Structure 1
Amino acid sequence: MRTRLERHFRFAALHTNWRTETLAGFTTFITMAYIIFVNPAILSQTGMPIASVTAATCLCAAFGSILMGALANYPLALAPGMGLNAYFTYTVVQKMGIPWPAALGAVFLSGIIFLILTFTGIRQQLVAAIPHQLHAAVGGGIGLFIAFIGFRNAGIIVPSAATIVTLGNVRAPQTALALFGLLLIAILQVLKVRASMLIGVLGTMLLGIVCHQVTWNPAPFHIGAISSTAFHLDIPAALHIGGFEIIFVFLFVDLFDNIGTLVAVTQRAGLISPDHTIPRLNRIFFADAAATVVGSMAGTSTVTSYVESATGVAAGGRTGVTAIVTGILFFLALFLAPLVGTIPVFATSPALILVGGLMMTGLGTIEWEKPHIAIPAFLTVSTIPLTWSIADGLSFGLTSYAALQLLTGRATRKDWMLYLLASLFLLRFLYLSHA
Structure 2
Amino acid sequence: MAVTVTDSRLERLFQLSERGTTARTEIVAGVTTFLTMAYIVLVNPAILGQAGMPVAAVAAATCFAAAFACILMGFVANVPLALAPGMGLNAYFSFTVVQQMHVPWPIALGCVFISGVAFLLLTLGGIRQMIVAAIPQHLFAAVAGGIGLFIGFIGLRNAGIVVSNPATSVALGNLHAAGPGLALLGLLIIAGLSIWGVRGAMLIGIVVTTIVGWLFGMVSFKPDPYSLATLSQTAFKLDLPGVFGMTGHGLGLFEILFVFLFVDLFDNIGTLVAVTKRAGLIGPDGKITKLNRILFADATATIVGSLAGTSTVTSYVESAAGVQAGGRTGLTAIVTGILFLATMFVAPYAQLIPLAATAPALIMVGGLMMAPLIEVPWDEPEMAIPAFLTLALIPLTFSIANGLAFGITAHAILKIVRGKAVRGDWLLFVLAALFVVRFVYLAAG
TM-score range, shorter chain: 0.7 to 0.9
Give the 5 Å matches for 1:310-325: none
Residue of structure 2 in register with 1:215 after alignment: 220
Q: 1:215 to 1:116 in 2, by over 3 A?
A: same
CA contact (8 A) 2:246 2:253 kept: no
Change (3 A) 1:156 1:228: closer
Partner of 1:256: 262
Aligned to 1:357: 367
The residue number in structure 2 matching 1:28 is 37
- Contact 1:39–1:54 under 8 Å retained in 2: no
Cα drift, residue 120 of structure 1: 0.9
Contact in 1 for aligned 2:27/2:335 (Cα 8 Å): no
Q: What is the Cα deviation at residue 85 of structure 1?
A: 5.5
Number of residue pairs the alignment of both structures matches: 421
Q: What is the CA-CA distance between 1:335 and the residue it aligns to? A: 3.2
Q: Which amino acid aligns with 2:258?
A: F
Kept in 2, the 8 Å contact 1:77–1:323? The answer is no
Matches within 5 A, 1:26-425: 26-36=35-45, 39=48, 42=51, 56=61, 58-68=63-73, 70-71=75-76, 73=79, 74-78=81-85, 81-84=90-93, 87=97, 108-220=113-225, 222-224=227-229, 242=247, 248-262=254-268, 265-266=271-272, 271=277, 280-298=290-308, 300=309, 303-305=312-314, 309=316, 327-328=337-338, 330-425=340-435
**Contact map agreement 2:57 2:348 (CA 8 A) in 1:** no
Tell me, yes or no, if the aligned pair for 1:53 and 1:226 is still in contact at 8 Å: yes
Give the partner amino acid of 2:42.
Answer: A
The CA deviation string for residues 141-191 of structure 1, in whole angstroms up to 9 with x for no partner, is 222222212212222111111111111111222311221222233333333
Inter-partner Cα distance in structure 2 for 1:322 and 1:237: 39
Note closer, same or farther for the CA distance 1:126–1:252 as it changes in structure 2 (3 Å cut): same
After superposition, the Cα gap between the structure-2 partners of 1:325 and 1:310, relative to the gap in structure 1 and judged at 3 Å, is same
Higher mean alpha-carbon deviation, 338-347 vs 149-158, is at: 338-347
Identity of aligned residues (%): 44
Q: Does 110-119 or 288-297 show the bigger shift?
A: 288-297
- 8 A Cα contact 2:56 2:230, kept in partner: yes
* Cα RMSD, aligned residues only: 4.2
Listed one character per residue, the Cα deviations across residues 357-392 of structure 1 (whole Å, up to 9, x for unaligned) are 233233333222211011112112111211223333
- Higher mean alpha-carbon deviation, 288-297 vs 238-247, is at 238-247
User: Structure 1 residues 233 and 391 mapped into 2: Cα distance closer, same or farther (>3 Å)?
Assistant: closer
In the TM superposition, what is the alpha-carbon distance from 1:408 to its structure 2 partner? 1.2
Alignment TM-score, normalising by the size of structure 1? 0.77
Letter in 1 for 2:82: P
Is contact 2:190–2:360 with CA below 8 Å preserved after alignment? Answer: yes
* 1:265 Cα deviation from its structure 2 partner: 4.5
**Amino acid corresponding to residue 35 of structure 2 in structure 1:** F
> In 2 relative to 1, CA 348–41 (structure 1 residues): closer, same or farther, beyond 3 Å?
closer
Instruction: Name the aligned partner's letter for residue 121 of structure 2.
Output: I
What is the distance in 1 between the residues matched to 2:68 and 2:28? 22
User: Which 5+ residue runs of structure 1 have no aligned equivalent?
Assistant: none
Displacement after TM superposition at 1:131 (Å):
0.8
Unaligned 5+ segments in structure 2 are 1-6
Amino acid at match of 2:123: T
1:158 partner amino acid: V
